[in-house]
Amino acid sequence: MHQLTLAEIARGLADKKFSSEELTRALLARIHQLDPQINSFISVTDELAISQARAADARRAAGESGALLGAPIGHKDLFCTQGIRTSCASKMLDNFKAPYDATVVSKLAEAGTVTLGKTNMDEFAMGSANESSYYGPVKNPWNFEHVPGGSSGGSAAAVAARLLPAATATDTGGSIRQPAALTSLTGLKPTYGRVSRWGMIAYASSLDQAGPLARTAEDCALLLQGMAGFDAKDSTSIDEPVPDYSASLNASLEGLRIGLPKEYFGAGLDPRIAELVQASVKELEKLGAVVKEISLPNMQHAIPAYYVIAPAEASSNLSRFDGVRFGYRCENPVDLTDLYKRSRGEGFGAEVQRRIMVGAYALSAGYYDAYYLQAQKIRRLIKNDFMAAFNDVDVILGPTTPNLAWKIGAKNNDPVAEYLEDVYTITANLAGLPGLSMPAGFVDSLPVGVQLLAPYFHEGRLLNVAHRYQQVTDWHTRAPNGF
Ligand code: GLN
Protein backbone atom coordinates (compact mmCIF):
# COMPACT_ATOMS: atom_id res chain seq x y z
CA MET A 1 0.00 0.00 0.00
CA HIS A 2 2.94 2.32 0.70
CA GLN A 3 3.84 2.44 -2.99
CA LEU A 4 0.57 4.16 -3.91
CA THR A 5 0.62 7.74 -5.12
CA LEU A 6 -1.96 10.27 -3.93
CA ALA A 7 -3.87 9.83 -7.19
CA GLU A 8 -3.92 6.05 -6.75
CA ILE A 9 -4.98 6.42 -3.12
CA ALA A 10 -7.86 8.65 -4.21
CA ARG A 11 -9.04 5.98 -6.66
CA GLY A 12 -8.57 3.17 -4.11
CA LEU A 13 -10.59 5.04 -1.50
CA ALA A 14 -13.32 5.92 -3.99
CA ASP A 15 -13.51 2.27 -5.13
CA LYS A 16 -13.57 1.10 -1.48
CA LYS A 17 -10.46 -1.07 -2.02
CA PHE A 18 -9.28 0.08 1.42
CA SER A 19 -10.29 2.63 4.01
CA SER A 20 -8.32 5.67 5.06
CA GLU A 21 -7.96 4.11 8.51
CA GLU A 22 -6.40 0.92 7.07
CA LEU A 23 -4.00 2.93 4.94
CA THR A 24 -3.15 5.24 7.83
CA ARG A 25 -2.42 2.35 10.19
CA ALA A 26 -0.20 0.68 7.58
CA LEU A 27 1.81 3.84 7.02
CA LEU A 28 2.13 4.59 10.73
CA ALA A 29 3.49 1.08 11.29
CA ARG A 30 5.95 1.64 8.46
CA ILE A 31 7.08 4.96 9.94
CA HIS A 32 7.68 3.39 13.36
CA GLN A 33 9.57 0.52 11.76
CA LEU A 34 11.74 2.38 9.24
CA ASP A 35 12.08 6.00 10.31
CA PRO A 36 14.58 5.39 13.11
CA GLN A 37 17.19 4.88 10.35
CA ILE A 38 16.19 8.00 8.40
CA ASN A 39 15.06 10.50 11.08
CA SER A 40 12.58 12.19 8.76
CA PHE A 41 9.99 12.86 11.49
CA ILE A 42 10.22 15.09 14.55
CA SER A 43 6.77 14.06 15.78
CA VAL A 44 4.57 11.16 14.69
CA THR A 45 0.93 11.97 15.43
CA ASP A 46 -0.66 8.51 15.70
CA GLU A 47 -3.76 9.53 17.61
CA LEU A 48 -4.56 12.55 15.48
CA ALA A 49 -3.99 10.49 12.34
CA ILE A 50 -6.35 7.70 13.37
CA SER A 51 -9.09 10.12 14.37
CA GLN A 52 -8.74 12.13 11.15
CA ALA A 53 -8.73 8.94 9.08
CA ARG A 54 -11.92 7.73 10.79
CA ALA A 55 -13.55 11.09 10.21
CA ALA A 56 -12.56 10.99 6.53
CA ASP A 57 -13.99 7.47 6.18
CA ALA A 58 -17.22 8.67 7.80
CA ARG A 59 -17.41 11.66 5.42
CA ARG A 60 -16.95 9.32 2.46
CA ALA A 61 -19.60 6.93 3.79
CA ALA A 62 -21.94 9.92 4.03
CA GLY A 63 -21.50 10.56 0.31
CA GLU A 64 -18.68 13.10 0.23
CA SER A 65 -15.89 12.71 -2.28
CA GLY A 66 -12.70 14.61 -3.05
CA ALA A 67 -9.21 13.64 -4.13
CA LEU A 68 -7.68 14.45 -0.76
CA LEU A 69 -10.44 13.01 1.44
CA GLY A 70 -8.62 10.41 3.57
CA ALA A 71 -5.16 11.04 2.05
CA PRO A 72 -2.28 10.64 4.52
CA ILE A 73 0.33 13.39 4.49
CA GLY A 74 2.97 14.99 6.72
CA HIS A 75 3.63 18.66 7.46
CA LYS A 76 7.03 20.27 7.65
CA ASP A 77 7.52 21.18 11.31
CA LEU A 78 7.24 24.92 10.72
CA PHE A 79 3.52 24.86 9.98
CA CYS A 80 1.66 25.58 13.20
CA THR A 81 -0.51 22.66 14.27
CA GLN A 82 -2.93 23.27 17.08
CA GLY A 83 -1.99 21.44 20.27
CA ILE A 84 0.90 19.66 18.59
CA ARG A 85 4.56 20.56 18.95
CA THR A 86 5.72 22.93 16.21
CA SER A 87 9.46 23.04 16.73
CA CYS A 88 11.02 24.47 13.55
CA ALA A 89 13.68 21.87 14.41
CA SER A 90 15.00 24.23 17.08
CA LYS A 91 15.69 23.80 20.76
CA MET A 92 14.08 27.25 20.99
CA LEU A 93 10.67 25.76 20.14
CA ASP A 94 11.13 22.21 21.41
CA ASN A 95 8.36 22.82 23.95
CA PHE A 96 6.10 24.99 21.73
CA LYS A 97 2.59 23.74 21.07
CA ALA A 98 0.90 26.02 18.58
CA PRO A 99 -2.43 27.50 19.72
CA TYR A 100 -3.85 27.37 16.17
CA ASP A 101 -3.44 25.70 12.77
CA ALA A 102 -1.61 27.38 9.90
CA THR A 103 -3.92 28.16 6.96
CA VAL A 104 -2.18 25.46 4.89
CA VAL A 105 -2.87 22.93 7.65
CA SER A 106 -6.52 23.92 8.14
CA LYS A 107 -7.24 24.05 4.40
CA LEU A 108 -5.78 20.60 3.87
CA ALA A 109 -7.63 19.26 6.92
CA GLU A 110 -10.89 20.59 5.51
CA ALA A 111 -10.10 18.80 2.25
CA GLY A 112 -9.86 15.64 4.37
CA THR A 113 -6.12 14.96 4.61
CA VAL A 114 -4.80 12.90 7.49
CA THR A 115 -1.73 14.23 9.34
CA LEU A 116 0.71 11.44 10.14
CA GLY A 117 3.30 13.71 11.67
CA LYS A 118 5.59 16.71 11.54
CA THR A 119 8.69 16.32 9.44
CA ASN A 120 12.29 17.14 10.24
CA MET A 121 13.97 20.18 8.68
CA ASP A 122 16.94 22.48 9.02
CA GLU A 123 16.61 24.68 12.09
CA PHE A 124 14.29 27.58 11.14
CA ALA A 125 14.57 26.38 7.51
CA MET A 126 18.15 27.62 7.23
CA GLY A 127 20.20 25.15 5.25
CA SER A 128 20.51 22.96 2.21
CA ALA A 129 21.38 19.66 3.84
CA ASN A 130 19.06 19.10 6.79
CA GLU A 131 22.06 18.80 9.06
CA SER A 132 21.25 21.76 11.32
CA SER A 133 18.18 20.24 13.00
CA TYR A 134 18.18 20.15 16.81
CA TYR A 135 16.76 16.63 16.36
CA GLY A 136 19.73 15.42 14.32
CA PRO A 137 20.43 15.10 10.60
CA VAL A 138 18.07 13.42 8.14
CA LYS A 139 19.52 10.62 6.01
CA ASN A 140 18.92 10.31 2.29
CA PRO A 141 17.00 7.04 1.64
CA TRP A 142 19.00 6.61 -1.59
CA ASN A 143 22.19 6.38 0.46
CA PHE A 144 22.23 6.82 4.22
CA GLU A 145 25.69 8.40 4.13
CA HIS A 146 24.39 11.31 2.07
CA VAL A 147 22.25 14.33 2.88
CA PRO A 148 18.67 14.49 1.53
CA GLY A 149 18.98 18.22 0.83
CA GLY A 150 17.29 20.89 2.88
CA SER A 151 15.70 22.60 4.45
CA SER A 152 12.66 20.37 3.78
CA GLY A 153 14.83 17.24 4.04
CA GLY A 154 12.45 15.41 6.38
CA SER A 155 9.45 15.86 4.08
CA ALA A 156 11.57 14.74 1.12
CA ALA A 157 13.14 11.72 2.82
CA ALA A 158 9.78 10.53 4.18
CA VAL A 159 8.15 10.67 0.74
CA ALA A 160 11.18 9.12 -1.01
CA ALA A 161 11.20 6.25 1.52
CA ARG A 162 7.49 5.66 0.90
CA LEU A 163 6.60 6.52 4.50
CA LEU A 164 4.20 9.13 3.11
CA PRO A 165 2.74 9.64 -0.36
CA ALA A 166 3.24 13.41 -0.12
CA ALA A 167 4.10 16.19 2.29
CA THR A 168 4.00 19.94 2.67
CA ALA A 169 7.24 21.90 2.53
CA THR A 170 8.49 25.46 2.18
CA ASP A 171 10.97 27.13 -0.13
CA THR A 172 12.82 30.34 0.72
CA GLY A 173 15.82 29.79 -1.55
CA GLY A 174 15.24 26.28 -2.86
CA SER A 175 14.09 24.18 0.08
CA ILE A 176 11.36 22.37 -1.85
CA ARG A 177 13.12 21.97 -5.20
CA GLN A 178 16.60 21.09 -3.95
CA PRO A 179 15.59 18.22 -1.63
CA ALA A 180 13.17 17.04 -4.35
CA ALA A 181 16.12 16.83 -6.73
CA LEU A 182 18.38 15.04 -4.27
CA THR A 183 15.76 12.41 -3.36
CA SER A 184 14.13 11.88 -6.79
CA LEU A 185 10.83 13.61 -6.07
CA THR A 186 8.67 16.21 -7.74
CA GLY A 187 8.44 19.46 -5.76
CA LEU A 188 6.79 22.75 -6.56
CA LYS A 189 7.46 26.22 -5.18
CA PRO A 190 4.42 28.31 -6.12
CA THR A 191 4.37 32.00 -7.06
CA TYR A 192 4.95 34.22 -4.03
CA GLY A 193 1.49 34.93 -2.63
CA ARG A 194 -0.22 31.87 -4.14
CA VAL A 195 -0.24 29.94 -0.84
CA SER A 196 -0.95 31.60 2.50
CA ARG A 197 1.98 32.07 4.85
CA TRP A 198 -0.28 32.54 7.86
CA GLY A 199 0.79 30.21 10.66
CA MET A 200 4.00 29.31 8.90
CA ILE A 201 6.92 30.23 11.16
CA ALA A 202 8.72 32.97 9.25
CA TYR A 203 12.31 32.74 8.06
CA ALA A 204 12.57 35.42 5.34
CA SER A 205 9.06 36.73 4.81
CA SER A 206 9.52 38.21 1.33
CA LEU A 207 10.89 34.90 0.02
CA ASP A 208 9.09 32.13 1.98
CA GLN A 209 6.49 30.14 0.09
CA ALA A 210 4.84 26.81 0.88
CA GLY A 211 4.26 24.05 -1.65
CA PRO A 212 3.91 20.30 -2.21
CA LEU A 213 6.53 17.54 -2.28
CA ALA A 214 5.35 14.30 -3.87
CA ARG A 215 6.52 11.61 -6.25
CA THR A 216 4.63 12.81 -9.32
CA ALA A 217 3.50 16.07 -10.88
CA GLU A 218 -0.03 14.66 -10.80
CA ASP A 219 0.20 14.40 -6.99
CA CYS A 220 1.72 17.87 -6.67
CA ALA A 221 -1.31 19.18 -8.57
CA LEU A 222 -3.67 17.51 -6.08
CA LEU A 223 -1.83 18.78 -3.02
CA LEU A 224 -1.35 22.29 -4.38
CA GLN A 225 -5.08 22.43 -5.11
CA GLY A 226 -5.71 21.94 -1.41
CA MET A 227 -3.12 24.53 -0.33
CA ALA A 228 -3.53 27.43 -2.76
CA GLY A 229 -5.87 30.40 -2.51
CA PHE A 230 -6.40 33.84 -1.09
CA ASP A 231 -6.20 34.29 2.65
CA ALA A 232 -7.17 37.59 4.23
CA LYS A 233 -4.95 36.73 7.21
CA ASP A 234 -1.80 36.95 5.07
CA SER A 235 -1.26 40.49 3.77
CA THR A 236 0.94 39.20 0.92
CA SER A 237 -1.59 36.60 -0.21
CA ILE A 238 -2.86 37.35 -3.71
CA ASP A 239 -6.52 37.30 -4.63
CA GLU A 240 -6.30 35.40 -7.92
CA PRO A 241 -8.65 32.54 -8.79
CA VAL A 242 -7.07 29.09 -8.31
CA PRO A 243 -7.21 27.12 -11.56
CA ASP A 244 -7.94 23.39 -11.70
CA TYR A 245 -4.34 22.12 -11.73
CA SER A 246 -5.30 18.53 -12.58
CA ALA A 247 -7.34 19.63 -15.61
CA SER A 248 -4.34 21.01 -17.49
CA LEU A 249 -1.90 18.16 -16.77
CA ASN A 250 -2.34 16.53 -20.16
CA ALA A 251 -2.26 19.63 -22.34
CA SER A 252 -0.12 19.22 -25.46
CA LEU A 253 3.47 20.48 -25.41
CA GLU A 254 3.40 21.10 -29.16
CA GLY A 255 5.16 24.41 -29.78
CA LEU A 256 6.05 24.97 -26.09
CA ARG A 257 9.06 27.30 -26.04
CA ILE A 258 11.72 26.19 -23.57
CA GLY A 259 14.57 28.54 -22.67
CA LEU A 260 17.92 27.17 -21.56
CA PRO A 261 19.83 29.92 -19.72
CA LYS A 262 23.46 29.71 -20.73
CA GLU A 263 24.46 30.79 -17.21
CA TYR A 264 22.92 27.56 -15.86
CA PHE A 265 25.30 25.35 -17.81
CA GLY A 266 28.62 27.04 -17.05
CA ALA A 267 31.46 26.25 -14.66
CA GLY A 268 30.44 24.68 -11.37
CA LEU A 269 27.88 22.30 -12.84
CA ASP A 270 28.71 18.59 -12.55
CA PRO A 271 29.01 17.52 -16.23
CA ARG A 272 27.15 14.28 -15.49
CA ILE A 273 24.18 16.32 -14.28
CA ALA A 274 24.44 18.53 -17.39
CA GLU A 275 24.17 15.41 -19.55
CA LEU A 276 20.98 14.24 -17.84
CA VAL A 277 19.47 17.71 -18.13
CA GLN A 278 20.18 17.67 -21.87
CA ALA A 279 18.58 14.22 -22.10
CA SER A 280 15.41 15.61 -20.47
CA VAL A 281 15.39 18.41 -23.03
CA LYS A 282 15.52 15.79 -25.82
CA GLU A 283 12.47 14.05 -24.35
CA LEU A 284 10.55 17.31 -24.24
CA GLU A 285 11.55 18.06 -27.84
CA LYS A 286 10.10 14.70 -28.85
CA LEU A 287 6.86 15.87 -27.23
CA GLY A 288 6.81 18.94 -29.46
CA ALA A 289 8.70 21.55 -27.43
CA VAL A 290 11.10 23.93 -29.15
CA VAL A 291 14.30 24.92 -27.40
CA LYS A 292 16.31 28.09 -27.46
CA GLU A 293 19.24 29.47 -25.54
CA ILE A 294 18.54 32.48 -23.36
CA SER A 295 20.54 34.58 -20.92
CA LEU A 296 19.92 35.62 -17.32
CA PRO A 297 22.92 37.94 -17.02
CA ASN A 298 22.49 38.91 -13.36
CA MET A 299 22.29 35.37 -12.03
CA GLN A 300 25.84 35.56 -10.67
CA HIS A 301 24.70 38.19 -8.17
CA ALA A 302 21.82 36.11 -6.79
CA ILE A 303 23.64 34.26 -3.99
CA PRO A 304 25.33 37.34 -2.51
CA ALA A 305 22.03 39.28 -2.68
CA TYR A 306 20.06 36.42 -1.13
CA TYR A 307 22.55 35.96 1.69
CA VAL A 308 22.03 39.59 2.65
CA ILE A 309 18.24 39.75 2.26
CA ALA A 310 17.36 36.39 3.84
CA PRO A 311 19.50 36.85 6.98
CA ALA A 312 18.31 40.48 7.29
CA GLU A 313 14.68 39.37 7.35
CA ALA A 314 15.55 36.43 9.58
CA SER A 315 17.25 38.66 12.14
CA SER A 316 14.07 40.69 12.35
CA ASN A 317 11.67 37.71 12.37
CA LEU A 318 13.65 35.81 14.98
CA SER A 319 13.83 38.73 17.39
CA ARG A 320 10.50 37.54 18.81
CA PHE A 321 12.22 34.51 20.34
CA ASP A 322 13.44 36.30 23.42
CA GLY A 323 12.85 33.81 26.22
CA VAL A 324 9.84 35.81 27.37
CA ARG A 325 7.01 35.19 24.95
CA PHE A 326 7.81 31.94 23.15
CA GLY A 327 9.79 28.80 23.65
CA TYR A 328 13.02 28.19 25.47
CA ARG A 329 14.01 30.18 28.54
CA CYS A 330 17.43 29.81 30.21
CA GLU A 331 17.75 28.66 33.84
CA ASN A 332 18.07 31.25 36.61
CA PRO A 333 18.63 34.48 34.67
CA VAL A 334 20.20 37.17 36.86
CA ASP A 335 18.58 40.07 34.98
CA LEU A 336 16.70 40.83 31.75
CA THR A 337 19.81 41.13 29.58
CA ASP A 338 21.09 37.82 30.88
CA LEU A 339 17.66 36.28 30.14
CA TYR A 340 17.75 37.45 26.51
CA LYS A 341 21.37 36.56 25.95
CA ARG A 342 21.36 33.11 27.39
CA SER A 343 17.88 32.13 26.16
CA ARG A 344 18.89 33.02 22.58
CA GLY A 345 22.46 31.76 22.93
CA GLU A 346 21.32 28.40 24.29
CA GLY A 347 18.10 28.10 22.26
CA PHE A 348 19.44 28.77 18.76
CA GLY A 349 21.96 26.58 16.93
CA ALA A 350 25.16 27.81 15.27
CA GLU A 351 23.79 28.40 11.76
CA VAL A 352 20.79 30.36 13.06
CA GLN A 353 23.07 32.53 15.21
CA ARG A 354 25.33 33.13 12.21
CA ARG A 355 22.39 34.31 10.10
CA ILE A 356 21.06 36.57 12.85
CA MET A 357 24.46 38.22 13.18
CA VAL A 358 24.90 38.66 9.41
CA GLY A 359 21.38 40.06 9.12
CA ALA A 360 21.67 42.45 12.06
CA TYR A 361 24.96 43.71 10.63
CA ALA A 362 23.53 44.24 7.13
CA LEU A 363 20.60 46.19 8.56
CA SER A 364 22.58 48.34 10.96
CA ALA A 365 22.88 52.09 10.45
CA GLY A 366 25.85 52.85 8.25
CA TYR A 367 25.74 49.51 6.47
CA TYR A 368 22.09 49.43 5.38
CA ASP A 369 22.77 51.31 2.11
CA ALA A 370 25.89 49.33 1.33
CA TYR A 371 24.31 45.91 1.79
CA TYR A 372 20.56 45.68 2.14
CA LEU A 373 19.71 48.41 -0.34
CA GLN A 374 22.21 47.11 -2.89
CA ALA A 375 20.82 43.60 -2.50
CA GLN A 376 17.30 44.89 -3.14
CA LYS A 377 18.51 46.55 -6.35
CA ILE A 378 20.04 43.29 -7.52
CA ARG A 379 16.76 41.63 -6.76
CA ARG A 380 15.03 43.98 -9.20
CA LEU A 381 17.65 43.29 -11.90
CA ILE A 382 17.12 39.57 -11.50
CA LYS A 383 13.38 39.99 -11.83
CA ASN A 384 13.88 42.13 -14.96
CA ASP A 385 16.08 39.40 -16.49
CA PHE A 386 13.25 36.90 -16.04
CA MET A 387 10.61 39.25 -17.41
CA ALA A 388 12.72 39.79 -20.54
CA ALA A 389 13.30 36.04 -20.92
CA PHE A 390 9.61 35.24 -20.60
CA ASN A 391 8.88 37.50 -23.56
CA ASP A 392 10.51 34.81 -25.70
CA VAL A 393 9.93 31.51 -23.89
CA ASP A 394 7.14 29.77 -21.97
CA VAL A 395 9.31 27.94 -19.45
CA ILE A 396 12.95 28.05 -18.41
CA LEU A 397 14.74 24.75 -17.90
CA GLY A 398 18.02 23.86 -16.21
CA PRO A 399 19.56 21.73 -13.48
CA THR A 400 18.04 22.07 -10.00
CA THR A 401 21.40 21.64 -8.28
CA PRO A 402 25.02 21.91 -9.41
CA ASN A 403 26.06 18.76 -7.53
CA LEU A 404 24.78 15.41 -6.32
CA ALA A 405 23.74 14.88 -2.70
CA TRP A 406 26.95 15.21 -0.70
CA LYS A 407 28.12 13.15 2.24
CA ILE A 408 26.74 14.06 5.64
CA GLY A 409 29.31 16.29 7.32
CA ALA A 410 31.25 17.08 4.13
CA LYS A 411 30.43 20.79 4.14
CA ASN A 412 30.11 21.32 7.90
CA ASN A 413 33.21 23.48 8.16
CA ASP A 414 32.36 25.62 5.17
CA PRO A 415 28.94 27.28 5.29
CA VAL A 416 29.61 29.17 2.05
CA ALA A 417 30.17 25.91 0.14
CA GLU A 418 26.66 24.93 1.23
CA TYR A 419 25.24 28.34 0.26
CA LEU A 420 26.60 27.85 -3.27
CA GLU A 421 24.42 24.75 -3.70
CA ASP A 422 21.43 27.11 -4.06
CA VAL A 423 22.80 28.81 -7.15
CA TYR A 424 20.01 27.67 -9.53
CA THR A 425 17.05 27.84 -7.17
CA ILE A 426 17.46 31.16 -5.36
CA THR A 427 16.63 33.42 -8.31
CA ALA A 428 13.01 32.21 -8.42
CA ASN A 429 12.54 33.27 -4.79
CA LEU A 430 14.15 36.66 -5.36
CA ALA A 431 11.81 37.22 -8.32
CA GLY A 432 8.78 35.53 -6.68
CA LEU A 433 8.35 33.11 -9.59
CA PRO A 434 7.02 29.54 -9.49
CA GLY A 435 9.52 26.70 -9.93
CA LEU A 436 9.38 22.92 -10.03
CA SER A 437 11.96 20.17 -9.77
CA MET A 438 11.36 16.76 -11.33
CA PRO A 439 13.42 13.54 -11.30
CA ALA A 440 15.61 13.20 -14.40
CA GLY A 441 17.95 10.29 -13.76
CA PHE A 442 20.77 9.06 -11.56
CA VAL A 443 24.54 9.45 -11.30
CA ASP A 444 26.38 6.96 -9.08
CA SER A 445 22.95 5.77 -7.86
CA LEU A 446 22.15 9.27 -6.56
CA PRO A 447 19.16 11.21 -7.98
CA VAL A 448 19.36 14.21 -10.30
CA GLY A 449 16.63 16.84 -10.73
CA VAL A 450 15.66 19.16 -13.54
CA GLN A 451 14.20 22.55 -12.68
CA LEU A 452 11.45 24.29 -14.62
CA LEU A 453 10.52 27.95 -14.05
CA ALA A 454 7.44 29.76 -15.39
CA PRO A 455 5.89 33.22 -15.31
CA TYR A 456 3.81 34.31 -12.30
CA PHE A 457 0.78 32.09 -11.57
CA HIS A 458 1.73 29.53 -14.23
CA GLU A 459 2.05 26.65 -11.77
CA GLY A 460 -0.33 24.75 -14.05
CA ARG A 461 2.12 25.00 -16.93
CA LEU A 462 4.97 23.62 -14.80
CA LEU A 463 2.82 20.71 -13.66
CA ASN A 464 1.71 20.09 -17.25
CA VAL A 465 5.29 19.92 -18.58
CA ALA A 466 6.43 17.70 -15.71
CA HIS A 467 3.40 15.41 -16.07
CA ARG A 468 3.91 14.94 -19.81
CA TYR A 469 7.59 14.23 -19.15
CA GLN A 470 6.60 11.67 -16.51
CA GLN A 471 4.31 9.92 -19.02
CA VAL A 472 7.35 9.09 -21.17
CA THR A 473 10.01 8.51 -18.47
CA ASP A 474 10.11 6.34 -15.36
CA TRP A 475 12.66 8.08 -13.12
CA HIS A 476 9.88 9.21 -10.78
CA THR A 477 8.66 5.63 -10.27
CA ARG A 478 11.95 4.28 -8.97
CA ALA A 479 12.27 3.63 -5.25
CA PRO A 480 15.42 3.54 -3.15
CA ASN A 481 16.70 0.04 -2.33
CA GLY A 482 14.77 -1.53 0.51
CA PHE A 483 11.90 0.95 0.32
N1 GLN B 1 19.47 26.95 1.55
C2 GLN B 1 18.84 28.21 1.63
C3 GLN B 1 19.10 28.83 2.97
O4 GLN B 1 19.78 28.24 3.72
C5 GLN B 1 17.38 28.08 1.37
C6 GLN B 1 16.63 27.51 2.49
C7 GLN B 1 15.15 27.51 2.25
O8 GLN B 1 14.70 27.57 1.10
N9 GLN B 1 14.39 27.50 3.33
O10 GLN B 1 18.66 29.89 3.27
Instruction: Give the distance (Å) from ligand 1 centre to CA of residue 481.
Output: 28
Point out the ligand 1 atom lying closest to the alpha carbon of residue 351. 4
> What torsion, rounded to 10 degrees, do the Cα atoms 284, 285, 290, 291 define?
80
Provide the angle, in degrees to the nearest 10, between the axes of the packed helices 302-317 and 374-389. Answer: 120
The average pLDDT across 3-7 equals 98
In short, whether 174's Cβ falls inside 6 Å of ligand 1 is: yes
Q: Which residues fall within 8 angstroms of residue 410, CB to CB, at 6 or more apart?
A: none
**How far is 49 from 64, CA to CA, in rounded Å?**
19
* pLDDT range class, residue 480, cuts 50, 70, 90: very high
Q: Is the CB of 152 under 6 A from ligand 1?
A: no
* Mean residue pLDDT across the chain: 97
> Residue 413: what pLDDT?
87
Instruction: Determine whether 76 is an active site residue.
Output: yes
Q: What is the mean pLDDT of residues 114-120?
A: 98
**Residue 343 designated active-site:** no
Using only C-alpha atoms, what is the Rg of the chain?
21
CA 33/CA 43 separation, integer angstroms: 14
How many domains does one find in the chain? 1
Taking the CB of residue 111, how many other CB atoms lie within 10 A of it?
Answer: 18
User: Quick one: pLDDT band at residue 365, thresholds 50, 70, 90?
Assistant: confident
Average pLDDT over residues 456-470: 98
Tens of pLDDT, residue by residue over 53-84, are 999 999 999 999 999 999 999 999 999 999 99
Mean pLDDT of 310-321: 97
Across 262-278, average pLDDT: 96
Q: Across residues 7-26, what is the average pLDDT?
A: 98
Angle at CA of residue 481, ends 475 and 483, nearest 5°: 90
Mind listing the pLDDT tens digit for each residue in 153-184? 999 999 999 999 999 999 999 999 999 999 99
Domain range for 442: 1-483
Cβ(273)–Cβ(451) below 8 Å = no
Per-residue pLDDT band for 319 (boundaries 50, 70, 90) equals very high
- Find the 252 Cα to ligand 1 centroid distance in Å: 34
Find out whether the beta carbon of 186 lies less than 6 Å from any atom of ligand 1: no
- pLDDT exceeds 90 at position 94: yes
| Pocket lining: 130 vs ligand 1, CB cutoff 6 Å | no
pLDDT of residue 264: 96
pLDDT bin (cut points 50, 70, 90) of residue 275 is: very high
Quick one: angle between helices 302-317 and 350-363, nearest 10? 100
Between the CA of 398 and the centroid of ligand 1 the distance, in Å, is 19
Whole-number percent of the chain with pLDDT over 70? 100
Q: What are 279-312's pLDDT values in tens digits? A: 999 999 999 999 999 999 999 999 999 999 999 9
CA 412 to CA 245: how far, in whole Å?
40
> Using one digit for the tens of pLDDT, what is the confidence trace for 28-43?
999 999 999 999 999 9
For position 326, what pLDDT does the model report? 86
Residue 415: pLDDT band (50, 70, 90) is confident
Q: Is 233 a catalytic residue?
A: no
Ligand 1 binding pocket includes 173 (Cβ within 6 Å): yes
Strand (E) or helix (H) holding 361: helix 350-363
With pLDDT > 90 as the criterion, what percentage of the chain qualifies?
96
Instruction: Compute the 3-state secondary structure of the chain and give helix, strand, coil in percent, each to the nearest 5.
Output: 40, 15, 40
Q: For 227-262, how does the pLDDT look when each residue is reduced to its tens digit (9 = 90+)? A: 999 999 999 999 999 999 999 999 999 999 999 999
Other CB atoms within 10 A of residue 460 CB: 21
Other Cβ atoms within 10 Å of 159 Cβ, number: 32
Could you tell me if 419 and 162 are in contact, meaning their C-beta atoms sit under 8 angstroms apart? no
Residue 358 binned pLDDT confidence (cut-offs 50, 70, 90): very high
How far apart are alpha carbons 389 and 395 in whole angstroms?
Answer: 9
Residue 399 has pLDDT above 90, yes or no: yes
Q: List Cβ neighbours of 450 (8 Å cut-off, separation of 6 or more).
A: 181, 276, 277, 280, 397, 398, 399, 400, 437, 438, 440
CB of 137 within 6 A of ligand 1: the answer is no
With contact defined as beta carbons under 8 Å apart, do 282 and 315 qualify? no
CA–CA gap between residue 169 and residue 207 (Å, rounded):
14
C-alpha–C-alpha distance, residues 75 and 411, integer Å: 27
Q: Distance from the CA of 172 to the center of ligand 1, in angstroms?
A: 5
The CATH number that applies at residue 303 is 3.90.1300.10
Q: Which residue out of 19, 43, 76, 90 is catalytically annotated? A: 76
* Average pLDDT estimate for 347-369: 94
